[in-house]
A and B are shown apart, each in its own frame.
Chain A
Amino acid sequence: MTNLFLLQLLNGVQLGILLFLIAAGLTLVFGIMDFVNLAHGVIYMVGAYLLVSFARMTGGYWTGLALTLPTVLILGLALELLVFRHLYDRSHLDQVLATFGLVMVVTEAVQIIWGAAPLTAAMPEALSGSIPLIGPLRYPVFRLAIIAAGLLTGLGLWYIITRTRIGMRLRAGATHRGIVSALGVDIGKLFSLIFAFGAMLAGFAGALVAPILSVDPGMGESVLILAFVVIVIGGIGSIKGAFAGALLVGIVDTLGRSFGPIVLRAVLEPAAAGQAGRVLAPMLVYILMAMVLAVRPAGLFGAKA
């Protein structure tokens, strides 16, 4: 029981880390540019597909990853230049429409290029084993590596945002866009940078999960909506909030699915507990979101509603 709990806790942390990589870029775009981007999930998906292709082409995960990251970065820059840049000063409704259209285009294009059947990527040799944790419990190295990569990325983001000049401008841009612009910072360039960087993080997340999840055209959607929940819980525009929210959502979702029925069995008939558990578990994160909002409408770390 303790072993199972530890195992699921690690799975929850790993899902949380993944959500953090996706939500980090999204929350900056939401918070700083006040921009609704529904197309963030498909960039994650494209990241996974690119990794599959590049890894097969070059014959290795690492070379695949090395090619995927700059490609997604360029894709992000291109999308910003062609579409997003023209939408910053539009209403949220226009942003929803254009990015929703983009979701349709990219999802369909991915199916044309790679087909609708799920793909998988080979795991890198060095990380394909598992290591013992406690007693007979073993955990795949690759999943631990995902957690480590996410934590390192989070640390790097924290450093950039709080310790560098770009981070300072970014923080200033989030609260006083007009003033920052008046002080001579090219806010347009800053936006492009944030956007492309966020896209790269999402693509990175996609590349990380390509060896452990099936890569299919629907993978972006579920993650996008979970990332929204993360951002709402954490507070829009806050990287700290995205991190806390992502871990919370990841752990609650994973533990709810595996332990919900077990906990319910204490108060209900086994059959009823199983049914109620299956129904309630997927709804748990949304109930969590509703509870956080009821207490703090701006999210845990949000400044403004």
Chain B
Amino acid sequence: MRGRALAATLIFAAFAAVPPLAYWANDPYLIVIASRIVAFAIAALALDLILGYGGMVSFGHAAFVGIGAYSVAILGQAGITDLMLQLLAAIVAASAFALVTGAISLRTRGVYFIMITLAFAQMAYFFFVSLSAYGGDDGMTLSSRSTLFGSDMLRDDGIFFYVSLGLLGALFLIATRIVGSRFGRVLRGSRENALRMNAIGFSPFRYQLVAYVISGAMASVAGVVLANQTKFVSPAFMNWHVSGELIVMVVLGGVGNLIGAVFGAVVALVLQEFLGAFTDHWQLWFGLILVGVTLASRDGVGGLVRRLTGGKR
């Protein structure tokens, strides 16, 4: 646990150092990438909460990211540009969607669960594709970033980055509290053996559903950040590739230790930027690396990372 706290401190310190570094190197693009990484780190963190601690492999978390992004766009078009109100709307909408789809998906296990969460995300995708008032398939450009306490200070990339990082930090602390609580223990117990949890008087379904809703709400925050960062929303945010990449991030960083998900988001996005700089076909190489790493390590990518780093985390 000590090591993990140290890793978290290091990663957040490294994040905080990005804007000064970008000004020093005169490369504002660094802040743009870092903001994007923070957004995906939030979503990966949310996914790790249910995947790592609840054993629920959700292949539809991009839907929540999309709901968050569209909350910004839809409220913004209605004249409500306050970030806090938009966050609230995103969380309420994502929780409602998670409650309904989760209640149905959690009736099933294993392969079924993976496919059903994917199908529901695809449903959300098609819903926004056919919503022509908000750009339909093409998406829509936002006129400006959200306002914070009536001021448009988020226009500045640096301030926006620190606000996003603050959101990630707050959610990380909340998630840490959740997994350390009695609720978190019941969740882990349900992952290991639902039958026994039932026998000692807990209903795994209710705990898993609550966790699913919390995770969905957290992922919607990622969408709010992402929409603001790109000043653009489109159904592509909830494409199933995004859900897949979120799983990749969680696994890259090591399943079930929260800060790993944040680290995984950094690794995955930096790797994509790196490959993208060399070739237009970065997906080919990213995919090959993914297949190779998964095959090479008996206990998954996390195991390979653990073996390469020499210690057990």
Contacts and interface: CB of A to CB of B under 8 A. Distances in A.
A30 interface: yes
**Interface core residue of A87, A94, A107 (most chain B CB under 10 Å):** A94
B290 interface: yes
A96 interface: yes
Interface stretch (B8-16, B122-130, B153-161): B122-130
Identify whether the interface residues of B are mostly helix, strand, loop, or mixed: helix
Interface in B105-119: 107-112, 114-116, 118-119
Contacts of A231: 115
Given A94-B300, A97-B248, A232-B119, A283 B127 contact: yes
A297 interface: yes
A93 B123 CA distance: 23
Interface in B196-217: none
Nearest to B113: A92
Contacts of B51: 93
Interface stretch (A124-132, A197-205, A288-296): A288-296
Contact of A86 (B287, B295, B300): B295
Interface string B266-291: 00000000000000010110111111
A294 B59 CA distance: 20
B57 A92 contact: yes
Contact of A98 (B118, B284, B295): B295
A111 B287 CA distance: 14
- How many residues of B sit at the interface, in one of the four size bands? 35 or more
A229 B112 CA distance: 10
B84 to A, nearest CB: 29
Contacts, number: 132
B130 A282 contact: yes
A105 interface: yes
B251 interface: yes
B44 interface: no
Interface in A254-305: 275, 278-279, 281-283, 286-287, 289-290, 293-294, 297, 305
Contacts of B110: 34, 92
Interface string A98-126: 10111111011101100000000000000
A190 interface: no
B255 A93 contact: yes
A91 B300 contact: yes
B179 interface: no
Contacts of A61: none
Contacts of B255: 93
Interface in A81-95: 83, 86-87, 90-94
A293 B283 CA distance: 35
Contact of B300 (A93, A282, A290, A294): A93
B97 interface: no
Given A107-B283, A279-B130, A293-B116, A97 B111 contact: no
Contacts of A103: 244, 287
Nearest to B295: A86
B100 to A, nearest CB: 9
A290 B107 contact: no
B186 to A, nearest CB: 22
A293 B113 CA distance: 11
A118 to B, nearest CB: 16
B132 interface: yes
A35 B77 CA distance: 45
A36 interface: yes
A278 B119 contact: no
A225 interface: yes
B122 A225 contact: yes
B120 interface: yes
B147 interface: no
A195 interface: no
A228 B113 CA distance: 11
B96 interface: no
A229 B36 CA distance: 32
B119 A221 contact: no
A104 B286 CA distance: 8
A283 to B, nearest CB: 5
Interface of B: 51, 57, 59, 104, 107-112, 114-116, 118-120, 122-123, 126-127, 129-132, 240, 244, 247-248, 251, 255, 281, 283-284, 286-291, 294-295, 300-301
